[in-house]
Amino acid sequence: MTVIPGSPKSRLDPDPMPRRDWLGLASLWSAASALLFGLVGSMRLPKAAVVAAPSKTFKVTLPDSLAAGEAFVPAGRAVAVYRDAEGIHAISTICTHLGCVVKSNAEGFECPCHGSRFDATGGVVKGPAPRALAWLQVKVSGSEIQVDEGKAVPSGTKVKNA
Ligand code: FES
C-alpha cells in the first residue's frame, strides 16, 4: 500500500509498534510458552515404578472339604492355614534360612532352595534353616477368618472357630 505524504492516516495503517512494547510482548509470549511447555512436559513425566504392596492382613475362606491338619494356601500368599478340632492357625511359608517359599507336604514343609525340612508345626527337622517357621496372627469373627502376615504369635497359638 502506498502512502501519500500529507494524507490522513488510515485506521487500518497502525503506527509501528514502539520497541519497548514489542519487547514487552515478546517476553510475555516467551513466559507463556515456557509455562505451557513446562506443563505439557510435566504431564509426560514417567510414572513412579513403585507397586503398592498388598496388605499384610487378608481374609481367608477355608473350603468345607479341608481336612483337619491339611494345609490351605491362599492364592498369592506365603501362608498355610489349618483348621482342626483345637481351632484355626496359620504358619508362614517363608523359609527362615534365606526366604524361599516352602512347600507343604504330608510331613510338614520342605524348602526347595536348600532342602530345609520342617514338621507340621513349623519346627526345624533338617537345616540349614536356623529357626522354626513363624506362626501368624489369626482372628476369627463369625465365618470370617483374617490372617495377618505381619504379626507373629507364639508357636501353638490356635483360635477357636466361633
Ligand atoms: S532358603 Fe530354605 S533352606 Fe535355604
Ranges of residues in the chain with a pLDDT under 70 are 1-8, 49, 51, 162
pLDDT value at residue 6? 65
pLDDT value at residue 35? 95
Query: How many whole angstroms from 6 Cα to the centroid of ligand 1?
Result: 101
With the most atoms of ligand 1 within 8 angstroms of its CB, the residue from 110, 111, 118 to mutate is: 111
Query: How many whole angstroms from 112 Cα to the centroid of ligand 1?
Result: 7
Indicate which atom in ligand 1 lies nearest the CA of residue 127: 3
This prediction has a pTM of 0.62
pLDDT value at residue 20? 87
Query: How many whole angstroms from 149 Cα to the centroid of ligand 1?
Result: 19
Q: In this structure, are residues 118 and 109 in contact, taking their beta carbons and an 8 Å threshold?
A: yes
User: CB under 8 Å to 73, separation ≥6 — which residues?
Assistant: 79, 80, 81, 93, 104
Query: How many whole angstroms from 134 Cα to the centroid of ligand 1?
Result: 14
Pocket of ligand 1 (CB under 6 A): 95, 97-98, 100, 111, 113-114, 116, 128-129
Residue 124: its H or E element: strand 124-126
Regarding beta strands 108-110 and 87-92, do their DSSP bridges make them parallel or antiparallel, or are they unpaired?
unpaired
Residue with cell 483337619: 68
Q: In this structure, are residues 84 and 68 in contact, taking their beta carbons and an 8 Å threshold?
A: yes
Distance CA 157, CA 8 (A): 103
Cell of 158: 490356635
